[in-house]
Amino acid sequence: MGRFSQPNPADQGREDTGGVTAKVNQILLAKVATKAAAKATAEATAKVTAEIEAVITAKSVNQAATKIAIRTATKVASTGNQVIPIGNFELFLALLFILVTVGIILWLRLGLAKKLIIATLRCYGQLLLLGFVLAFIFIYDSPWLTAGAFLVMIGFGVQNIISLLKSSPYRLFWPVLASMSVTGIPITFAVTMLVIGVSPWYKAQYVIPLAGMVFGNSMSGIALAAERVFADLEGRRDEVRLLITLGATPWDASLPSIRAAVRTGLVPTINRTATVGVVAIPGMMTGQILAGANPLEAARYQIVIMLMLAAASSLGAITVALWSYKKAFDPSGAFR
Amino acid sequence: MKRPHLFSIHNMTVFRSQKGERRLVLSQASLDLEPEELVDLVGVSGAGKSTLLEAAAWLIPIAEGIMTLQGGNYKAFAPQEWRRKVAIYLQKPVAAPGTVRENLLLAWKFTQKPEQEMPSDIRLQSDLEEVGLSGVSLDNNASELSGGQLARLALLRILLLQPPVLLLDEPDASLDKDSAQLVNKRIWRYLKENQAAAIRVRHYSWGDSASRTLLIREGKILEG
């Protein structure tokens, strides 16, 4: 079974070996890079990078040439099994497209420029912060930290759903929290422990990203279903009241609405599962391929993930619909 | 020993919440019903007529007071069972999706089936004829019925449950004079055959056929 590509410890914290003198010139650097590319192994890249770092430290070569050499070496070597790193400059380069979009938005007076800029800044801030937090969690790799990450994910997920459902007159905190937890946690661990075989079971590098995907998907299923079940009951108000007067239980009266809600939660998942890989390469598979994984191996992972996500959003939708419909009825079973 | 009333409401108080505001709609309302009695409840709009019926059918929370059916406190019944015994005819008759037959037999689709056997098509057809719906087939789509036809279907639907108490919210509101008379006749026959009683809400008393008339004003029941 394949694994996500792991960072090579050899890449980090290399000291100046002292083997390369200040007299190393541009030609030598290019040669070293070519050598590394030929070997195309992580170890070779690490050595090359270290040697180049030494050159940079020596400050006796043309800075531009050094940069080009590093990039060439890393790029070629990465076809073996490495990620092409994105530097600060490149990170800001990506902003250009957004600036173009902002320009168009301003020209068309869409009134969305401020929102897009804030969203972009949030994207930078949130993802970089996430990177730092995950790096910290991965280093310590404790079950408590993994559990803490679960709590944070569930907490934000629940808060997000509740804010989407703020027009609902019913208090849905507990049904939403319960639906997120009873579907997300078992599905995540079913995949990490039974399918991927992660060891130890709490290994943050696997458990947290997968849990994030599971919670994200069950969140959308839950939000759609919870919104729909009450909207449908409200749309059927006269009929529901009639059924109750004839001795129907809340279950009898709600069944068509529960079906509609579950269908609403399921349809996007079914469509996504059926069309995956036809229009676009899914995100996780793209990530793995960019990280140097064999596409077939990445496809196997993606299949597991797709099915896991389909289960998460479907079960989330079903659970929340079943858990929350009674909120529309008083303790005697009368429609509120 | 004194025989209990067929149906009794004693000192019932009900509040309604509207836009977060709690409003008193029924204040210590009391009434008793005996078998074969049809009581008209009249009053202006907003006096609490429909609220009284909904509370009697246990469709809204009752803040204070008790209700009894044949001497038994309402809290001793399962709400679903109570609603089949103290059956309400809603002011706005509604058709559930499906045919006329499916609409008449709605209650037999639920988790808890009625005690009565499911009526046959012959019985249903004769019921329809009795209230002037001989032209309506059991296979017709109920949503295609006119308001007046639907009103009669809704009445037949609750009579099939054979409730001891009927709560009728303006049952003749959407009927022409002839149909209203047929319905009136059908209700009386039902009350006599089943030793049942009914409360009928109307905007004003027509002086026709009711055993007695009660006036409701600002949530209080007064003798008419």
CATH code of A215's domain = 1.20.1640
Residue pair B12/B62 in contact by the 8 Å Cβ criterion: yes
Residue B72 pLDDT exceeds 70: yes
ipTM over 0.85: yes
CA nearest to A334 within chain B: B59
Classify residue B115: in a domain, yes or no.
yes
Classify residue A333: in a domain, yes or no.
no
Backbone φ and ψ of B154, nearest 5°: -65, -35
Q: What percent of chain B has pLDDT over 70?
A: 97
Classify residue B71: in a domain, yes or no.
no
**Residue A259 touches partner B, C-beta closer than 8 Å:** no
The predicted-structure confidence for A254-265, as pLDDT tens digits, reads as follows: 999 999 999 988
Classify residue A169: in a domain, yes or no.
yes
Choose the final residue of a domain: A61, A84, A107: A84
Minimal Cβ distance to A330: which of B57, B61, B107: B61
The residues that bridge with B212 in the sheet, in sequence order, are B39
Classify residue A335: in a domain, yes or no.
no
CA distances, A212 to each of A61, A153, A208, B193 (Å): 45, 7, 6, 67
Show Cβ contacts of residue A46 under 8 Å, excluding neighbours closer than 6 positions: A8, A10, A11, A14
Pair (A175, A257) in one structural domain: yes
- Answer whether B107 sits within 8 Å of A334, measured CB to CB: no
Instruction: Suggest the residue from A238, A240, A241, A246 to mutate for an interface test with chain B (most B CBs closer than 10 A).
Output: A246
**Residue A332 touches partner B, C-beta closer than 8 Å:** yes
For residue B114, the domain's CATH number is 3.40.50.300
CA nearest to B95 within chain A: A239
| B221 vs B224: CA distance, rounded Å | 9
Classify residue A224: in a domain, yes or no.
yes
Residue A308 pLDDT exceeds 60: yes
**Residue A241 touches partner B, C-beta closer than 8 Å:** yes
B96 contacts on A by Cβ (under 8 Å): 239, 242-243
pLDDT at B206: 62
Residue A200: asked if its preceding bond is cis (omega within 30°), the reply is yes
* Structural domain range at position B53: 35-59+78-210
| A172 vs A189: CA distance, rounded Å | 26
Could you give the number of structural domains in chain A?
Answer: 3
The band of A11, judged by pLDDT with boundaries at 50, 70 and 90, is very low
| A239 vs A231: CA distance, rounded Å | 14
Pair (A118, A76) in one structural domain: no
The amino acid at residue B15 is: F
User: What are B's interface residues with A at a Cβ cutoff of 8 A?
Assistant: 57-61, 79-81, 83-84, 87-88, 90, 92, 94, 96-97, 106-107, 109-112, 114, 157-158, 161
pLDDT at B174: 84
pLDDT at B200: 93
pLDDT at A4: 39
Classify residue B66: in a domain, yes or no.
no
Choose the final residue of a domain: A49, A65, A84: A84
Pair (A134, A151) in one structural domain: no
B158 contacts on A by Cβ (under 8 Å): 245-246
The predicted-structure confidence for A240-281, as pLDDT tens digits, reads as follows: 999 999 999 999 999 999 999 999 888 888 888 888 888 778
Q: Tokens 């409701």: give the residue.
A: B216
pLDDT at B204: 66
Could you give the number of structural domains in chain B?
Answer: 1
Mean of the per-residue pLDDT values for chain A? 79
Choose the final residue of a domain: A68, A84, A100: A84
The predicted-structure confidence for B74-126, as pLDDT tens digits, reads as follows: 999 999 999 999 999 998 889 999 999 999 999 999 988 998 889 999 999 99
- Answer whether B57 sits within 8 Å of A245, measured CB to CB: yes
* Structural domain range at position A75: 9-84
CA distances, A196 to each of A143, A145, B151 (Å): 18, 21, 63
Q: What percent of chain A has pLDDT over 70?
A: 76
The predicted-structure confidence for B26-42, as pLDDT tens digits, reads as follows: 888 899 999 999 999 99
- Answer whether A249 sits within 8 Å of B112, measured CB to CB: yes
Pair (A174, A286) in one structural domain: yes
3-class DSSP assignment, residue B22: strand
**Residue A326 touches partner B, C-beta closer than 8 Å:** no
Residue A35 pLDDT exceeds 60: no
The band of A43, judged by pLDDT with boundaries at 50, 70 and 90, is low
Classify residue B51: in a domain, yes or no.
yes
| B204 vs A235: CA distance, rounded Å | 33
Classify residue B28: in a domain, yes or no.
no
What's the predicted TM-score (pTM) here?
A: 0.74
Pair (A131, A147) in one structural domain: no
Question: Could you say which DSSP state residue B5 is in?
Answer: P
Classify residue B20: in a domain, yes or no.
no
